[in-house]
Amino acid sequence: MTSASLANDNLAFPTGDMVIRAGIDESPAPKAASPDRWTGGYVGIAAGYGMLWDTQNARARGLDFGGFAGYNIRVAGPVVGGLEAEFNHINRELDDDIGVFAKDVFSAKLRLGYAHDRFFAYGVVGAQHATSVVPPFLSASGEAADTTYLLGAGVDVAVTDRIALGAEYTRAVYHSFDYPPTVIPIDVHIQRVNARLTYKINCSHFRFAPPE
């Protein structure tokens, strides 16, 4: 048999207790990649549109920006959850002619949702701390701050193995916003819609579908 026929045919030649195979790759087939998952650490930036209003009909709206960092784990099946810390600079004045400026918002969030392939939809619950600059007759320090609950929802879409784009809506209601040393009985509402750019820190975990 010619060498050309050996190269073209998948043939086995018995030689005692050995079998010599021509043209057959006996190495094991590559193991399929593990299913993707939305787990691991991440950081990102956010920018969007926010609106504030209070029970005295004072309002403020405009663009804000900030950053966030968090960590996700697979809870069970396609359910993914995690913790996230976020900072946003809003810096806008309420139209009440008093001179109150909403300044910064800090949020600690628990995210829980459903992951499928390159999509992750989730709900948000957590706490939010807001700071503001106020005139001296409201606060001797010229500042005011308060903390309340936070609710929201969002969706992320993976565009590469490390980068995801998303959108998130959050709303917080401050009951009797605290102007030290007194508490003025004015409720303040803050709602925001942000576009998010996420970068996964742990590349080995930056996969986008839950395990089977």
Name the residue among 79, 172, 163 with its Cα closest to residue 121.
79
Q: How far apart are CA 93 and CA 155, in angstroms?
A: 30
Q: What angle do CA 148, 96, 185 make, to 5 degrees?
A: 40
- Write down the pLDDT at residue 31: 39
| CB contact set of 46 (below 8 Å; sequence gap of 6+) | 65, 66, 67, 68, 86, 88, 168, 194, 195, 196, 197
CB 109 within 8 A of CB 100: no
Low-confidence residues in the chain, pLDDT < 70: 1-37, 97-99, 135-142, 177-185, 202-212
- Side-chain-side CA neighbours of residue 140 (13 Å): 3
Peptide bond into 181 cis (omega under 30): yes
pLDDT of 34 reads 32
Tens of pLDDT, residues 2-38 = 544 444 445 444 555 544 454 555 555 443 333 356 8
What percent of the chain has a predicted confidence (pLDDT) above 70?
Answer: 67
SS (H, E, C) 9-44: CCEEEEECCEEEEECCCCCCCCCCCCCCCECEEEEE
| Per-residue confidence (pLDDT) for residue 109, from 0 to 100 | 98
